Structure 1
Amino acid sequence: MQAKIAYEIADIPDDFNKLDATELPYTFPESLQSELAKQLAQSPINRYPNPAKSGLQNQLRQVFTILKSAHIALGNGSDELIQFLTLLVAQPNATVLALNPSFVMYQHNAELFGLNFVSVPLNIDFTLNLAAALDAIAQHKPALIFIAYPNNPTGVPFAREDVQAIIDVATGIVVIDEAYGAFSADSFLSQAGQPEHLVVMRTLSKIGFAGLRLGYAIGSECVMRELAKILPPYNMNWLSLTAAKFALQHYDWIEEHINILLAERERLSHEISQLVGVTVYPSQANFITVKFPDVDNVFNQLKKNKILIKKLHGSHPALKQCLRLTIGTPEQNNQMLAIIKQTV
């Protein structure tokens, strides 16, 4: 453990445009904020919460059309669910498999619990190398496979038939992490729990409520029953549960702002792709990954102008010269775009 490095959270001044953490740049209008405040004030915070009886699962089913046969587990963010799904398969010589580069917490948790970790390199364009993935599955027989769909930190969508091929051959649990599913043209949500070893994971963090720390996993009764045995009994809190239910009651507001970001994603991708020497990778998330000729110069110029984005360069060899740009409001995007055009 001493050799590991803690996940670093950037300390950002209040006057910065924060486009580094794939958060929604919009907040509820004052009328909804006032209504939410009233509901939060009435939350029974003197009592331990019972997430299973909170009513949130029913709202998730209604909003996202989740099968009645599928079971839902709530987590204190997707991070907690990733952790406990990994713990669920932790035994001597067990293997966790994930694609690479992808979300760093897959590997972190596998190593934390003493599991073998196998990473399958993506193709040079960040698409899925199906042959390599199938070979690795046949060789290592992983107890758990994580696939971010669309991928993070690249945003690149994988071919659905390739992901399905992995599900079909896997003998362990397959987790499709759809943290950015609200921004994607495709989803495995309707298949969660069918087959039995398929789990789909989502979060409220990317659609405007990162501060609630609320993720959810959908799967078969068999897998979710075993997961329930190791999840802490009071892992959620009343304030997050109340706020999440309120948010889903106003999903039309969320959807309206998601559509704004989708249009902005296409606009930014097109305009930046016109710059000489720049590669914009296709994205189905609320960010775009871009390769620049001089990544440090672009990053520093944006920071000098109080815009913070995510530098991927240095985190993985395949991400050399890459930045991840969270899609902001049209005004924020215009500021970022103007600086990039001046710099490249």
Structure 2
Amino acid sequence: MNSALKPQPLARIRQDIQSMQAYAIQDSAGMLKLDAMENPFALPPALQAELGRRLGAVAINRYPGARVDELKHALERFVDLPAGHALMLGNGSDELISLLAMGCDLPGASVLAPVPGFVMYAMSAQLQGLAFHGVPLTAHFELDEPALLAAMRAHRPAITYLAYPNNPTANRFDPAVMRRLIAEAATFGGLVVVDEAYQPFSSHTWLDEMRARPEANAHVLLMRTLSKFGLAGVRIGYLVGPAALVHEVDKLRPPYNVSALNAECALFALEHAEVFAQQAAVICEQREALLAALARLPGVMPFPSEANMVLARVPDAQRAFDGLKAQGVLVKNVSKMHPLLAQCLRLTVGTPDENARLIQALQTAL
């Protein structure tokens, strides 16, 4: 058979998938890693040893069982789950975003979110065959309320994502604007997903709104991850919302989506939540110090942050990124992600020593 006429296995892969770019993860070997909003603090040695003993006793020859349910109940206690609400677990927030797109994949359904925002909102919509509508933020990275309301009325999205705080801009949106957008979604039966990935570093949680105004938030789902809590390597996310809604989304969850080892790690972390709370407090202190240090650098404009990252505009983002990398410091160059992010770098807040090294390297790079 002529090779040109021979059936090609790649033809079985959707063309839009073949034209997509995979989610890029930078090579960080040997680098000071400040590109992925990770908690820079390791477990204290005594807790490392204790966790090792716990994990060694996990029955890895069995499928995950009751301990996963115990983790779910521990998280319900940890967040003080509001009455009438339920919680489900995901393999990180990414899986939850995918499941939501799958569950809402009705003919003509779409997903809407402010941009720039977390890339997985658009990617999950595309993978599921849903339209994605991105509504640009203002020049100061605030919600453009008139534009968002107009887009919601035009498209009636099945899901509207509001990150609180937002990635990569790191700011927390105006709660009054969010309340009005949530009320608008209610008029056409749309879901609103409030993504609180960076909640440990924020001054407000939407869970308080859901608790205080359950009727106004009856179509709101709150999504969190333990990655920023300090367990990025463990891959645990969770979704909180009205029980009837969560029950339907939970039907899509693959069996055993959370491993026994991951569940044990997360249970251990919740038992020592005060250690992670102390780490978050240090990160918040360091964030303020980093913002002040960046503001003193000529030509650098840092933006307000309520996350464990700082967005900063520099004279030449690519040159600064390359200069930092040459000095062994890895950050995220987001300048090409969206026009609003022109010449911007996203910097993870590190330890005091890491932040000092970052500032020194940035001075040289500039």
The two structures have a TM-score, normalised by structure 1, of 0.96
> Is the CA contact (8 Å cut-off) linking 2:109 and 2:158 kept in structure 1?
yes
The answer on 1:283 being equivalent to 2:305 is: yes
CA shift in 2, pair 1:51/1:169, >3 Å? farther
> Is the CA contact (8 Å cut-off) linking 1:202 and 1:217 kept in structure 2?
yes
Shift of residue 148 of structure 1?
Answer: 1.0
> Is the CA contact (8 Å cut-off) linking 1:70 and 1:192 kept in structure 2?
no
> Is the CA contact (8 Å cut-off) linking 1:67 and 1:190 kept in structure 2?
no
Partner residue in 1 for 2:146: 131
Matches within 5 A, 1:228-247: 228-247=250-269
Partner residue in 2 for 1:301: 323
Q: How many residues align?
A: 343
Q: Quote the Cα distance in structure 2 between the aligned partners of 1:17 and 1:76.
A: 27
CA RMSD of aligned residues (A): 1.4
Partner residue in 1 for 2:239: 217
Q: 1:227 aligns with which of 249, 268, 273?
A: 249
Q: Quote the Cα distance in structure 2 between the aligned partners of 1:27 and 1:52.
A: 24
CA shift in 2, pair 1:117/1:261, >3 Å? same
CA shift in 2, pair 1:254/1:63, >3 Å? same
The answer on 1:182 being equivalent to 2:200 is: yes
Q: 1:84 aligns with which of 75, 99, 102?
A: 99
Q: Which has the larger radius of gyration?
A: 2
Partner residue in 1 for 2:18: 2
* TM-superposition CA deviations, 1:105-163 (whole Å, max 9, x none): 10011111111111111001111111111111111111111111100011011101111
> Is the CA contact (8 Å cut-off) linking 2:235 and 2:262 kept in structure 1?
yes
Q: Quote the Cα distance in structure 2 between the aligned partners of 1:75 and 1:169.
A: 28
Partner residue in 2 for 1:11: 27
CA shift in 2, pair 1:308/1:97, >3 Å? same
Shift of residue 51 of structure 1?
Answer: 6.7
Q: 1:263 aligns with which of 260, 266, 285?
A: 285
Partner residue in 2 for 1:318: 340
Q: Report the secondary structure of 1:152's partner residue.
A: coil
Shift of residue 53 of structure 1?
Answer: 5.4
Shift of residue 64 of structure 1?
Answer: 2.5
> Is the CA contact (8 Å cut-off) linking 1:98 and 1:146 kept in structure 2?
yes
> Is the CA contact (8 Å cut-off) linking 2:68 and 2:263 kept in structure 1?
no
The answer on 1:201 being equivalent to 2:223 is: yes
Q: Quote the Cα distance in structure 1 between the aligned partners of 2:323 and 2:218.
A: 50
Q: Quote the Cα distance in structure 2 between the aligned partners of 1:161 and 1:329.
A: 34
Partner residue in 2 for 1:59: 74
Shift of residue 169 of structure 1?
Answer: 1.3
Partner residue in 2 for 1:156: 171
Q: Quote the Cα distance in structure 1 between the aligned partners of 2:357 and 2:298.
A: 19
> Is the CA contact (8 Å cut-off) linking 1:120 and 1:132 kept in structure 2?
yes
Read off the aligned partner of 1:97 and give its amino acid letter.
Answer: L
Q: Report the secondary structure of 1:230's partner residue.
A: coil
* TM-superposition CA deviations, 1:307-335 (whole Å, max 9, x none): 10000011221111000000000000001
> Is the CA contact (8 Å cut-off) linking 1:196 and 1:223 kept in structure 2?
no
Partner residue in 1 for 2:130: 115
Q: Report the secondary structure of 1:219's partner residue.
A: strand
> Is the CA contact (8 Å cut-off) linking 1:176 and 1:200 kept in structure 2?
yes
> Is the CA contact (8 Å cut-off) linking 1:261 and 1:286 kept in structure 2?
yes
Identity of aligned residues (%): 40
Read off the aligned partner of 1:182 and give its amino acid letter.
Answer: P
Q: Quote the Cα distance in structure 2 between the aligned partners of 1:53 and 1:9.
A: 29
Q: Quote the Cα distance in structure 1 between the aligned partners of 2:209 and 2:267.
A: 24
CA shift in 2, pair 1:138/1:233, >3 Å? same
Q: Report the secondary structure of 1:213's partner residue.
A: coil
Q: Quote the Cα distance in structure 1 between the aligned partners of 2:21 and 2:318.
A: 22
Read off the aligned partner of 2:310 and give its amino acid letter.
Answer: I
CA shift in 2, pair 1:190/1:66, >3 Å? farther
Shift of residue 166 of structure 1?
Answer: 1.0
Q: Quote the Cα distance in structure 1 between the aligned partners of 2:78 and 2:227.
A: 16
For structure 2, the residue ranges without an aligned partner over 5 or more in a row are 1-16
Read off the aligned partner of 2:227 and give its amino acid letter.
Answer: S
The answer on 1:253 being equivalent to 2:253 is: no
Partner residue in 1 for 2:87: 72
Q: Quote the Cα distance in structure 2 between the aligned partners of 1:97 and 1:203.
A: 21
Q: Report the secondary structure of 1:186's partner residue.
A: coil
The answer on 1:328 being equivalent to 2:350 is: yes
